[in-house]
Chains A and B, each alone.
Chain A
Amino acid sequence: MIEIRNLTRLYGRTAVVDDVSLTVDSGQLLVLVGTSGSGKTTLLRMINRLVEPSAGRVLIDGVDTATLPAHLLRRRIGYAIQGHGLFPHRTVAQNIATVPRLLGWPRAQIDARVDELLHLFQLDPAVFRDRMPHQLSGGQAQRVGVARALAAKPDLLLMDEPFGALDPLIRAKAQADLKEIQRRLGTTLILVTHDMAEAVALGDRIAVMDKGRLLQDDTPATILTDPATPFVRDLIGTSDRALRLLSLTPVAALATPGEAPGPAIAPDASGRDALAECLWSGRAALPVEGGGIVTLDTLRAQASQR
């Protein structure tokens, strides 16, 4: 569990982060979202003490991070950044092995861990282990960057705009993969982004920041239906919030008993996918794989402001 208590960072007399308190439960995925200059990156970097707080404390599982040497603290916390920051003079395997090597893991254990992570990120170890970073595509480099952050099995992973440099098609896939891996490993994840769509797609919780202050900290559904301030509403964008809301709920949760004609939709597809399929195929109801149907009426009710 990560407890952020009254964290403040001053540059001169300006508070870049102003008295922010937040708690993130173990295994949770919190997205910090805000415009540039909102203080979200500074808040993230105070957690692994790349920036020292001017006031306030960060507790990880009850331990005040200020009591640990900064470099030892950072080796326990995964860190992945925009543009991946891979070391250009080291192979993929050496990059991933960075923190385990610092921690003095035995060679055989490091090699096994590197292969395990490459498999996890769908990169064939035989092909990619000895590649240099400049020989990777943007998507591959990004995955290696995340694999490197996860190498020493940290309980906490910090990510700063990890998908910022990817093109939209790869980004959607990378987001889905990250969420899947985070679920599977049970890692607590705090991710910074300026993209509300990304926040809604990934977050168990979303914390919205502006001018150094925390405006709202809630589930994606609440943020969408009940924004705390006009700024949060602007950030969401009002034009497609109904669709975003639909995208949060899997079809399985919307299914009702019944029969419907035509091809079935997967239960883990989102309500948004189901609506699109209804409109495209001109049907009022779709069968769900494994039984039940999802109707246009159900989708309409789900997408409206309650």
Chain B
Amino acid sequence: MIGRALLALSALALLAFLVAPGPFAPLFQPFTRNNAPAIYTQTSLLSLTLSHLAIVAVAVAASTIVGLVLAVLVTRKAGREFLPLARTVTAVGQTFPPVAVLALSVPVMGFGTGPTLVALFLYGLLPVFENALAGLTGQPPQVAEAARGMGLTPRQRLWQIDLPLALPLLLAGMRLTAVISLGTATIGSTVAARTLGEVIIAGLLSSNTAFVLQGGLVVGILAVLIHHGFGALERRAGRRMGLA
């Protein structure tokens, strides 16, 4: 109950700050030096946040689609031998530093949103893929046996049984990917993607801790809210089937 109230409060505070950051200036004033501005005004914080969220949403959607399709393919009879390969590819995507992805893709794609999307997509693939895999393979064997025994075709089993039962774990994978991407997206501003990283970088360049702080805080609160949003969806999906 207290947790939910705190969550609602921070959501409200974040919204107020994004719409009208001016009144919050005294809060950040102690972190400035030499009368530097306390609030970043170069670009509207609201538009930066919306752009940041949009980039993360597109990247998470792409990771989810590709990760889920991959997990479905390698759990079918014909695709089973590709499981180790798919695992390696997604694991490499996770371990290859996003900064390096940016550096490598800028010469190909140019500056802007593109390289950031690629970096986030690769970085977010692993959690979705592994969770979808666990969801698709971790079902009680009796359920699969009953589905087969009653005459569901392989496709009907996938859509009516396997995917619905994998949903809670898939949502958990999307939650991890979304939270990771939200933080990682800030480095996109080094290659001119419009993200909240712009505020943080501006703060670093001008030695203005207030900018760094407000950029970080906005991203942090967004991550907490999204984490809880997905968590609520997972619980709802899981409760229906009698999971915790």
A interface with B by C-beta (< 8 Å): 48, 50, 70-75, 79, 81-89, 98-99, 102, 132-135, 145, 148-149, 158
> A76 to B160, alpha carbons, bound, how many Å?
20
Question: Is there an interface contact between A99 and B150, defined as CB atoms closer than 8 Å?
Answer: yes
Q: Does B207 count as interface, using CB distance less than 8 angstroms?
A: no
Q: Does B240 count as interface, using CB distance less than 8 angstroms?
A: yes
Kindly provide the distance from the CB of B164 to the nearest chain A CB, expressed in whole angstroms.
Answer: 5
Question: Is there an interface contact between A75 and B151, defined as CB atoms closer than 8 Å?
Answer: yes
Question: Is there an interface contact between B151 and A71, defined as CB atoms closer than 8 Å?
Answer: yes
Number of interface residues of B (CB under 8 A): 19
Other-chain residue from B145, B149, B150 in contact with A102 (beta carbon distance below 8 A): B150
Other-chain residue from A75, A82, A135 in contact with B150 (beta carbon distance below 8 A): A75
Return chain A residues, CB-CB under 8 Å to B146: 79, 81, 84-87, 145
Question: Is there an interface contact between A89 and B164, defined as CB atoms closer than 8 Å?
Answer: yes
In chain B between 91 and 110, which residues have their CB closer than 8 angstroms to a CB of chain A? none
Could you list 13 examples of A-B contacts with CB < 8 Å? A70-B151, A71-B151, A71-B152, A84-B142, A84-B146, A86-B146, A87-B146, A88-B242, A89-B240, A102-B151, A132-B241, A132-B242, A145-B146
Return chain A residues, CB-CB under 8 Å to B143: 85-88
Return chain B residues, CB-CB under 8 Å to A133: 242
Count chain B CB atoms within 10 A of each CB in A50, A73, A75, A98 and give the residue with the most. Answer: A98
In chain B between 135 and 189, which residues have their CB closer than 8 angstroms to a CB of chain A? 140, 142-143, 145-153, 156, 161, 164-165
> A158 to B143, alpha carbons, bound, how many Å?
16
Other-chain residue from B150, B153, B240, B242 in contact with A98 (beta carbon distance below 8 A): B150
B interface with A by C-beta (< 8 Å): 140, 142-143, 145-153, 156, 161, 164-165, 240-242
Other-chain residue from A48, A87, A149 in contact with B161 (beta carbon distance below 8 A): A87
> A98 to B156, alpha carbons, bound, how many Å?
11
Return chain B residues, CB-CB under 8 Å to A98: 150, 152
Other-chain residue from B142, B150, B240, B241 in contact with A74 (beta carbon distance below 8 A): B150
> A89 to B161, alpha carbons, bound, how many Å?
8
Question: Is there an interface contact between B142 and A50, defined as CB atoms closer than 8 Å?
Answer: no
> A31 to B157, alpha carbons, bound, how many Å?
30
> A81 to B241, alpha carbons, bound, how many Å?
20
CB nearest to A165 among chain B residues: B142
> A83 to B151, alpha carbons, bound, how many Å?
19
Other-chain residue from B140, B149, B156 in contact with A50 (beta carbon distance below 8 A): B149
